[in-house]
Amino acid sequence: MGFDRYASAVRSATVGIEACRHGPARAEELNDYAAEVDDFQEQVQERRRWMSDILHDAANAIAERQGEQINRLTLVSLIFLPITAVTGFFGMNFAWLTTRSRARPRFLPSA
């Protein structure tokens, strides 16, 4: 943004230079300098756009990798979560639990 202000100051300086005493002689040099400043400003803006595109592409690649990892995690949890629930249920010590509890119908459904 600072360079934009400098470029506009150079352009505004070229407007009134011909009205000065040494205007026509210095006007050509100043116009050449203003053209160089404009070219440099265009190059800076082009590099900015390139950098923005590169960062955007990098962010998209990271998001794509994260999506793939989430899909893998989902598949792993689909396999291991039900197995964990079944082993947790059948791994309980029901014999100890039924001998300590006097109300056996708590575990058996009534028919």
Q: 69 CB contacts (<8 Å, ≥6 apart)? A: none
pLDDT tens by residue, the chain, 111 residues = 577 777 777 777 776 665 666 656 666 777 788 888 888 888 988 999 999 999 999 999 999 999 999 999 999 999 999 999 888 888 877 776 666 666 556 656 655
What are the residues whose beta carbons fall under 8 Å from the beta carbon of 18, sequence distance 6 or more? 24, 27
- Residue 110's region, left for phi above 0, alpha for psi from -120 to 50, else beta, is beta
Residue type, 83: I
Angle at 98 between CA 92 and CA 104, to 5 degrees: 125
Query: What would the two tokens of residue 81 be?
Result: 């979560």
